[in-house]
Amino acid sequence: MSIDVWPADLPLPGRSDYSQSWQEARLARPADAGPPSYRRRTSAVARPVTLSMRLYRSQKAVFDQFYADTVCYGAKPFTMPDPTTDGWPLLSAGGVPVLTEEGTPILLSAQWLCLFGDTSPQVRVDGLRFRVSFSIWVMP
């Protein structure tokens, strides 16, 4: 089975609307007195992430086709670039970009294995563009 890939025609989701949390991986055991004790429920912890993008009409058509046809309205997994890492320069301990011999910054690369979240993507008009907001599960 091949895993579908996020369309290269789409921009990375904006970082200003990025929101991430962690799936609860603990199992609580109530105590007769004091705080509850916890144990690990699972080692495969997914991360729910909320994202949004501002798209032109042609890009919205690409997103719509990807969501509806490629990943079957969110039923199939896909890979996408990690918007918090992919394309950012590699930095030295002093915070200076690490360069190649030619003087080009070395860029980081990271991919996520994802599933669309529990709700369908939301679309609203934002000036001449569309703001598409959606949630995904980043798989472990």
pLDDT per position as a tens digit, 67-107: 999 999 999 999 999 988 888 999 999 999 999 999 999 99
* Distance between start and end Cα atoms, the chain: 18
pLDDT at site 61 = 97
pLDDT greater than 80 at residue 37? no
What pLDDT, on the 0 to 100 scale, is given for residue 120? 93
Q: Tokens 């603990």 belong to which residue?
A: 26
In terms of C-beta distances under 8 Å and separation of at least 24 residues, what long-range contacts does 87-95 make, across chains too?
87/12
SS3 40: strand
Which residues in the chain belong to E strands, given as ranges? 4-5, 19-20, 26-29, 37-40, 47-55, 78-81, 111-116, 122-126, 129-138
In the predicted model, is pLDDT for residue 38 greater than 80?
no
Average pLDDT for 53-80: 96
Q: What is the pLDDT of residue 1?
A: 67
Q: Give ∠ CA 18-21-23 in degrees, rounded to 5.
A: 145
Give the C-alpha separation, 16 to 36, whole Å: 36
Considering just the CA atoms, what is the radius of gyration of the chain in Å? 19
Cα–Cα distance measured from residue 94 to residue 106, given in angstroms and rounded to the nearest whole number = 15
Pick 125 or 35 by higher pLDDT.
Answer: 125
Q: Once rounded to an integer, what is the mean pLDDT over residues 35-50?
A: 77
Q: What percent of the chain has pLDDT over 90?
A: 64
